[in-house]
């Protein structure tokens, strides 16, 4: 049996649904490890067209002694919708999957979110395993049990909290990502670095400065030898936050730093212009500008956030073509709204973020205007 190397095991300890995050190399080829989390002879793999060509044949080999069905979705955020969800339900029902089946999400954030939502609702809930293949899903989306599909009017509008039985992170798979998809994941890494500051921020800065001109993901991984450690640290932070606040009634909302504007930009462009991480990158810059206006974030840190995003070769500015009023209206579906008031995750300093419901329309408008390209 193919051997795997475990780099780190992190437990997400929750009252009812504790589970491990296993981070390592060669995990995807290890039958014993994968099968440890299956409860019956039925499995449904949800993946996408891009990943299917890389991994599906060998992955299915290790499940060959089971009923193993597959749903291959088109690749892209614009397919995180009810049509894709129905495709999964249809496969489950037509292939007679029972309540003890296991759904395996083999893919990035889109596949994980949609497969998780299907698992949470099929026969009122079946087993679910996350095998995240994008950097973004490895450091953020696969951990914590948020599942959802998008609605044309708003991102992640229909969903549930539903924890997986395990998150299996194979770092080897990052090598097959396009550099663009890989860099999109760096936006969530930068988010964690701002949220906690200190050593993580220093290490992320060093990693990005050393890799800014690389041409491939393999080159990135050669130049920077600490990505696996950074992935593990992001997962550890996420696990700790989720343990404190599984259903986002408090501190978990801080993980939405950069996402209020990011989600609105995604909806504005019908989920087709930016990868989620790219929209979050612009959202992080907007959050920095707004924090400067609202809570006195020092200009040096605004510049530093801008520089980190630049080093990661991520978009940071709102294109001039975007109608800022329409963008503002799209923020009205933000899930942090309380008592009809939009609340923003703002930055006081590195490692010091908070939720603010006092942002005036004037300040928001000013921040968005300064984030527009060429301003
Ligand atoms: N992506 C933020 C969260 O899971 O809470």
Query: Given ligand 1 and candidates 109, 139, 146, which is best to mutate, with the most ligand atoms within 8 Å of its CB?
Result: 146
pLDDT per residue as tens digits for the range 89-104: 999 999 999 999 999 9
Question: Which ligand 1 atom sits closest to the C-alpha of 144?
Answer: 4
**Positions of the chain with pLDDT under 70:** 1
Could you tell me the distance, in angstroms and rounded to a whole number, from the CA of residue 252 to the centre of ligand 1?
7
Task: Indicate which atom in ligand 1 lies nearest the CA of residue 241.
Answer: 5
Atom of ligand 1 nearest to the CA of 188: 1
| Residues identified as active-site | 124, 146, 188, 238, 248, 252, 256, 259, 263, 276
Q: Is the minimum distance from the CB of 75 to ligand 1 under 6 angstroms?
A: no
pLDDT at 9: 97
Atom of ligand 1 nearest to the CA of 256: 2
Long-range contacts of 37-41 (CB under 8 A, 24+ apart): 37/102, 37/127, 37/129, 37/165, 37/166, 37/168, 38/66, 38/102, 38/127, 38/129, 39/100, 39/102, 39/127, 40/98, 40/100, 40/101, 40/102, 41/65, 41/66, 41/67
Q: Does 252 contact ligand 1 (Cβ within 6 A)?
A: yes
- Torsion over CA: 208, 210, 216, 222 (sign): negative
Pocket test for ligand 1, best of 141, 161, 235, 239 (most atoms within 8 A of CB): 141
pLDDT of residue 153: 85
Q: How many whole angstroms from 370 Cα to the centroid of ligand 1?
A: 27
pLDDT at residue number 19: 98
Ligand 1, atom 3, residue with closest C-alpha: 255
Q: Kindly state if the Cβ of 334 falls inside 6 Å of ligand 1.
A: no
pLDDT for residue 1: 64
Distance from residue 63's CA to the centre of ligand 1 (Å): 31
The pLDDT value given to residue 132 = 98
């Amino acid at each position: 049996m193919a051997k795997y190397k475990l780099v780190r095991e992190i437990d997400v300890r929750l009252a009812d649904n504790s589970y491990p995050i296993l981070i390592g190399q060669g995990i995807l080829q290890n039958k014993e490890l994968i099968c440890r989390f299956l409860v019956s002879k039925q499995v449904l793999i949800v993946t996408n067209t891009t990943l299917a060509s890389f991994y599906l044949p060998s992955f299915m080999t290790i499940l060959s002694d089971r009923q193993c069905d597959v749903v291959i979705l088109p690749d892209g955020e614009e397919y995180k919708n009810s049509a894709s969800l129905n495709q999964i339900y249809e496969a489950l029902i037509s292939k007679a999957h029972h309540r003890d089946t296991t759904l395996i999400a083999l893919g990035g954030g889109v596949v994980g979110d949609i497969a998780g939502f299907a698992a949470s609702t099929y026969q009122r809930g079946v087993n679910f395993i996350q095998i995240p293949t994008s950097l973004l899903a490895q450091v953020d989306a696969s951990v914590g049990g948020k599942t959802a599909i998008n609605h044309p009017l708003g991102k992640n509008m229909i969903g549930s909290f539903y924890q997986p039985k395990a998150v299996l992170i194979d770092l080897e798979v990052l090598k097959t990502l396009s550099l663009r998809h890989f860099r999109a994941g760096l936006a969530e890494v930068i988010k964690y670095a701002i949220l906690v500051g200190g050593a993580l921020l220093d290490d992320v800065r060093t990693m990005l400065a050393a890799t800014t001109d690389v041409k491939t993901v393999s080159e990135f991984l050669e130049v920077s030898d600490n990505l696996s450690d950074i992935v593990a640290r992001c997962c550890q932070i996420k696990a700790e936050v989720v343990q404190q606040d599984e259903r986002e009634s408090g501190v978990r909302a801080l993980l939405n730093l950069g996402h209020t504007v990011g989600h609105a930009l995604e909806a504005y462009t019908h989920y087709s212009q930016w990868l989620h991480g790219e929209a979050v990158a612009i959202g992080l810059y907007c959050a920095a500008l707004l924090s400067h206006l609202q809570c006195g974030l020092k200009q040096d840190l605004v510049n530093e956030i801008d520089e980190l995003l630049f080093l990661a070769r991520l978009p940071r500015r709102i294109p001039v073509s975007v109608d800022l009023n329409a963008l503002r209206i799209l923020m009205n579906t933000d899930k942090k709204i309380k008592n009809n008031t939009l609340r923003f995750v703002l930055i006081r300093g590195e490692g010091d973020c908070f939720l603010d419901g006092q942002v005036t329309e004037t300040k928001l408008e000013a921040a968005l205007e300064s984030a527009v390209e060429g301003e």
